[in-house]
Amino acid sequence: MHDARDAEDQRKLEAGEYVALLESYYGVMLDRSRVKVRREDDAVAVAAEVAIRLLSELKRGRRYRVPFRVVVHQVIKWKAKEHFARGKIDEVDLEDWLRKASTESTDELEGDRGFEGLIDGLTELEQEVLRLRYVEDLDFQEIAKRLAKEPNAVHQIHHRALTKLRKEAA
């Protein structure tokens, strides 16, 4: 799901195209900030903080052993937290995480999973329904056919998976 994007990010990193690389994440920086922070002005401020922080990291020569997108999402989380804390109390933790990301492998860090793999508590079937719906873009009828189930059953599995996701995210 992420391979092409990761490869393009890597190319930009190696070519030193840092601003272009970051610009390609502006949409998600803004949208995730919008769902984390209520006011539009605050969301834009958080997203800008993320971009500035990452650019400063890249310009300082930091390289990561995890895909760049994982780093982007982690910095979004920290900057949103920082916004609510109205200070820099988490800066040390962020530094730690970024240092880890530049020295440890992907498996040792959170955030490098597909949508269907985000929650540990999902059954295989629930994961498969989410994958078919949100990766393969199948409608519920098609998923039912693929899994040899009734469409109603697929709806229920989908509902259970999203409920777990909401609870886990809360």
Partner 1 sequence: MSEVQLETLFDEYATRYLRGERPDVREYLQRAGAEREEFCRLVDRFLEAVPAREPTEEDVVIMQARIEQQPPILVLRLRRALSREAVVAALVDRLRLDPAKSGKVAGYYHALEVGNLDPEPVSRRVWDVLAELLSANVRWLAGLRPEGPAAAVAYRREPTLMQAKLDRAAPVGAATEVAEPDEIDMLFTGSA
Helices (H), the chain: 3-15, 18-23, 26-36, 40-59, 68-85, 91-103, 124-134, 140-147, 151-169
**Of the ranges 69-77, 89-97, 120-128, 142-150, which one interacts with partner 1 (CB under 8 A)?**
69-77
> Who contacts 126 (Cβ-Cβ below 8 Å, separation ≥6)?
116, 157, 160, 161, 164
Token readout for 140 is: 């519920």
Identify the three-state secondary structure at position 88. Answer: coil
Q: Does 41 bind partner 1 (CB under 8 A)?
A: yes
Which residue has tokens 């984390």?
A: 36
Residues in the interface with partner 1 (CB under 8 A) total 52
Question: How many other β-carbons are positioned within 10 Å of the β-carbon of residue 53?
Answer: 18
- Residue closer to partner 1 by CB (options 149, 155) is 155
Rule CB under 8 A: is residue 83 a binding residue for partner 1? Answer: no
Asked whether position 124 contacts partner 1 by CB under 8 A, the answer is: no
Least separation, in Å, of the C-beta of 120 and partner 1? 13
Check binding of 147 to partner 1 (CB under 8 A).
no
Closest CA to 10 of 51, 76, 68: 68
Instruction: Considering the complex, state which of residue 35 and residue 92 has its C-beta at the smaller distance from partner 1.
Output: 35
Q: Which stretch binds partner 1 (CB under 8 A): 1-9, 91-99, 100-108, 143-151?
A: 1-9
Binding site for partner 1 (CB under 8 A): 1-2, 4-5, 19, 23-32, 34-36, 40-41, 44-45, 47-49, 51-52, 55-56, 59, 69, 72-73, 111, 113-115, 117-118, 133-135, 137, 158-159, 162-163, 165-166, 168-170
